[in-house]
Structure 1
């Protein structure tokens, strides 16, 4: 697909967007999966074709289908949602390359700790009114102060996946 994305401002359609995570635990025998119920965001496509924006997740909205586990994930051992209720990804630049590949450079902030993060997303749909991106990347949770690892049960990286649908709100 080769497409020119329209300039202007774009709003995340939270009803058509998902952000989920998965992490192998129990010494790699079990994969914990969860999704954030509250996702928000916006962006701007500039006249040169580059884009900037922000994606915000409500840390308290993570649902792994286990109330006890979700409570632990919201605690100071992990997201510390009482003190840091939002997870943000601030996009410093996003550029469409090679048809559908989008190179994204930004800053991920979890638990009040910010780290640079580059991601390759795919533009899976676009017209003059909406666009949809899909991305998958890994995060080292220890870089964000989430080092809890009772009996060595949790090792490795956390995988984050997202399908983000934006609708155009204004033209440039």
Structure 2
């Protein structure tokens, strides 16, 4: 499939979208996985080919299937949802490559800290009124002030995996 994404405004369809994280913990013996159930977003493909948009995650919606851990992740030790209720990836530029691959440059904001983030996205479905994008990338949580690490249990990078379905507005 060689994709020609239609110009115009696009709205994230939360029912067709997932954003999940995984992080190795307990000195490399356990992988904690979770899914954000609160996902929203929008985008625009302009006639000149430029792209802008944002995907927003409700930080309190992270579900790891472990209530006590989820409460800790919402606390000031991690996401501090009381003061920083959302995580946002704001798209600044997108370059369409061969084989339905898009290099997306943006800014990731977590816990009030913003950092540049580039991700490689695959267009897995495309029609005039719908598009589905998938990606997997890593984030160094320490760069965003999520540096709680009792007894050195949590090291390394967090992997973010997403499937984002957009529909034309």
- Sort the TM-score into its range (normalised by shorter chain): over 0.9
Residue 41 of structure 1 is matched in structure 2 by 41
For normalisation by structure 1, the TM-score amounts to 0.97
**What CA distance in whole angstroms lies between the structure 2 residues aligned with 1:126 and 1:95?**
17
Residue 158 of structure 1 is matched in structure 2 by 158
**What CA distance in whole angstroms lies between the structure 2 residues aligned with 1:65 and 1:129?**
34
For normalisation by structure 2, the TM-score amounts to 0.98
State yes or no: 1:129 paired with 2:153. Answer: no
Residue 167 of structure 2 is matched in structure 1 by 167
Q: Structure 2 regions of 5+ residues with no counterpart? A: none
**What CA distance in whole angstroms lies between the structure 2 residues aligned with 1:3 and 1:47?**
15
Q: Structure 1 regions of 5+ residues with no counterpart? A: none
Q: How does 1:15-164 map to 2 (within 5 A)?
A: 15-164=15-164
**What CA distance in whole angstroms lies between the structure 1 residues aligned with 2:49 and 2:122?**
16
Secondary structure of the residue that 2:80 maps to in structure 1?
coil
**Deviation for aligned residue 1:49:** 2.5
Secondary structure of the residue that 2:151 maps to in structure 1?
helix
| Contact 1:5/1:49 (8 A) holds in 2 | no
Cα RMSD after superposing both structures: 0.6
**What CA distance in whole angstroms lies between the structure 2 residues aligned with 1:10 and 1:94?**
15
Deviates more, 1:5-14 or 1:87-96: 87-96
Q: 4+ residue runs of structure 1 moved beyond 3 angstroms?
A: none
| Contact 1:19/1:161 (8 A) holds in 2 | yes
**What CA distance in whole angstroms lies between the structure 1 residues aligned with 2:95 and 2:143?**
26
